[in-house]
Structures are given as C-alpha cells and as structure tokens.
Amino acid sequence: MATPGSDLSSLRIDRSARQLPQKRRSRSRIVIWTIIVLLLIAIGLAVKRWLDPGVEVQLATATLTSPSQANAVLTASGYVVARRKAAVASKGTGTLIYLAVEEGDRVKKGQVIARLDDSDVMATLRRTRENLRVAEADLEDAQKHYQRMQAVIGKRAVSQADYDSAEARYKRMVSTIEAAKYAIREAEVAVENTRIIAPFDGTVLKKNADVGEIVAPLAGAASSKAAVVTIADMSSLEVDADVSEANIPRVAAEQNCEITLDAYPQQRYPGYVSNIVPTADRAKATVMVKIKFKQYDQRVLPEMGAKVTFLTQGTSADATTVKPLLTVPAGAVTERDGRSVVFQIKEDRAVEVPVTMGRRLGNAIEITSGLKEGDRLISKADDRLKNGTKVSLSQK
C-alpha cells in the first residue's frame, strides 16, 4: 500500500528479460523452416528424378571385326581336335621300367617310348634258341643216318623197317626244327611287346603311367594302367563344330570359313569345311561339321575352344587374313552439326564423341578414330539424344 509522500512515477515494468527468449525462438523457427524447405526441395528433385529417368538406352561395345564377317552366313562353336591321335599302350603285361618322354616331347614313328620288365620273356627266348640248337644237332645226326640207309637199301643190306625208321626220324627232326623256329619267333614277339613304340610322328599330350607301375593291355586291375602315353599328330589339327539341324542347309563341302580361338580372339585362321558327318545328335539336335585349317601356328592346341564363321559361297579365303577393323553397330553413329558422332554415358548423361567412319561391314561400321576397342557406347543414337541428355539403361 502506498504511503503518503511516495513517488510512484519511478515505478516501471522491465520487459527486456521477456523479449530475449522470444528473439531466440524466432531464430530457431527460421532455421527449422529453412531445413524443412531444403528437405522438401531435395525430396522434390528426387521424386522428379524418379518420375523422369531420362531416355532409355542400350549399350554396345566397340569391337575388332574381321572384314570377312560381313560375308558370314552362320557362326558355330566347337573344339580343336587332332585327326590322328592315339593312346599308346603295351601288348604285354608287366612293370614299367623305362619311360623316355614327357608331355610336350616330339616323337618319331618307330621310336621306343617305354619298356616293360622283360626278364621272363627274355629267358623264354634264350630257352627256345637253345632248343633250336639241340634240334639242329639231332637233325644233323638223323640226316646222316638216313643218307647211309639210302645208300645201302638198294643192296638189301638193311631191312625196309630200319630204312623207314631212319626216314621218319629225319622228317620228324626237320619238323622239330621248324617248330623251334616258330617258338623263337613267338618269344621274340613277346619281347617286342614289352617295347612301346610310337605309331606315327607326333607330340606327347599326356603321360598316363610312371616307372614302377603295372601296365596291362586292358587294364583289368584297379592298380594297372592301359595307355602309357597319349600322342597326337599336330599337323592334323581341325575343328569339330556342332551346327544346328535348322542351319545345316547353309553349310556345304569346301565352304570357306574363319576360325577364331577363344584363347586368342584377335587371331583369325582361314579354314574350309572338310566333312559333314552324315548323322545327327538326337539329344542336341545338331550335326557335326569338321573344319580343316588352311594354315595355323604353334599356338593352336588340341581341345581349345573355337568359333567358326561360315562364309558365303565364293568368298575368298584371303579375306580371313586381313587385319581386323574396329567396328560399332551402324545405329550407334549419327550426324550432329555436320559431324559423325557416337554417344557414351557419363554420370547418367549422354556425351557426344566425334568419330571418323570407314567402310560399312554388314550391320556394323568401321571406326578409324575416336574410339578404342572395348569402349562402351549407346547402341542406337536417335533424335532424342543430345549432348547432356539424361539417359537410363534399359533393363531388356
């Protein structure tokens, strides 16, 4: 209660303490609304990006293409095989005591590749030779006795029975000599059977047995081996390719081909159809076609995967030896501002790449500059594509 004489004019309400929290709250609201606006903008851009993925495109690759592929009528896969190939085995059974070759060694026809233990057959051979010597001595004695009997039989100095006995003994010994010779030859063959001989000039592909193992012609026991080595004539290499029954009418004898190995895709070898096997594979619905190399090098090995391009009739085999050209699909090249360009993708945007074109090869175009092998580009450059156009990859 105011007392008389008090000065009320000095009383004031202090509002500064209440204004300070209000200013702080106002600044916080501004920051929050700014963040909300930025989030809404980001969400809007994301939604727009999701709703507008850009021009849908597919990619292709700049690849090296042989000019002969423009004349291709069919492509098939197969494997390199050796027409002359043999798993060389022994005719006899025994322990392998000598092996003269390793994988990759070259052998000549008639060369001794390996030997089996021949102690038993050599003993048999020596016995048969001794038997022959004994028989020869008996033959000499029988022959002299028979000759004496012939000299006196006319004078009736010996009986007819003694003469007939001497004659029979002589003839028996002659037969014994022949039998002993056959026995020697049989023993010699048994010794030869312990020698494993190369049947033709070739290269050792695989060594199937080692010294100390038992070798048998049919490998009847689990521990025995049949073939000692596998050899192939590397001059008889060819490709066996499976061609679909529906495409076999496109293949003819002597038709020129281009062979590409999976191991060396840049190297192409000329070839031709040497044989169409006159039967089909029921399970695969294919017909085997044999393609001979016209020329090849030491890099070509049996069992390598190969692709065969069958060329149109009349196409020269020389085309397969021309250096491959860098090509892209014809639809990937277009004109922009008087320049030939292709489009590549960088950060979801189409980017123009000027190129120089060469000749046309079927559905492809040669690129002489501007790209290199393996470059990825948009396979079809239509009018919707501009430099910087947003694009997305097709899922097809």
Does domain 85-116+195-232 sit in CATH 3.90.1150.10? no
Task: Provide the b/e sequence for 177-211 (b: ≥16 CB within 10 Å).
Answer: beebeebbeebeebbebbbbebeebbbbbebbbee
> According to DSSP H, which parts of the chain are helical?
16-51, 119-153, 160-192
Across the beta sheet with 224-225, what order do the strands follow?
A: 195-197, 112-116, 94-99, 214-215, 224-225
Q: Report the C-alpha gap between 284 and 57 in whole angstroms.
A: 36
Per-residue pLDDT band for 1 (boundaries 50, 70, 90) equals very low
Annotated domain spans of the chain: 56-67+324-393, 69-84+236-320, 85-116+195-232, 118-193
First to last CA, the chain: 92
Select from 2.40.420.20, 3.40.50.300, 2.60.120.10, 3.90.420.10 the CATH code of 56-67+324-393.
2.40.420.20
Q: 303: number of CA atoms within 13 Å, CB side?
A: 4
Measure CA 172 to chain center: 65
Tens digits of per-residue pLDDT, 370-388? Answer: 999 889 998 888 888 888 8
Q: How many residues does the chain have?
A: 396
Fold (topology level) of 118-193: Helix Hairpins (1.10.287)
Highest mean predicted confidence (pLDDT) among 17-21, 27-31, 241-245, 385-389: 241-245
**The token pair that represents 57 in the structure block:** 């495109």
Contacts of 364 (CB under 8 A, 6+ apart): 65, 70, 327, 328, 329, 330
Secondary structure letter of residue 212 according to DSSP? T
Q: Contact, 374 vs 327, CB < 8 A? A: no
Mapping DSSP to helix (H, G, I), strand (E, B) and coil, where does residue 127 land?
A: helix
Lowest mean pLDDT among 133-137, 291-295, 312-316, 384-388: 312-316
**238 — pLDDT class (breaks 50, 70, 90):** very high
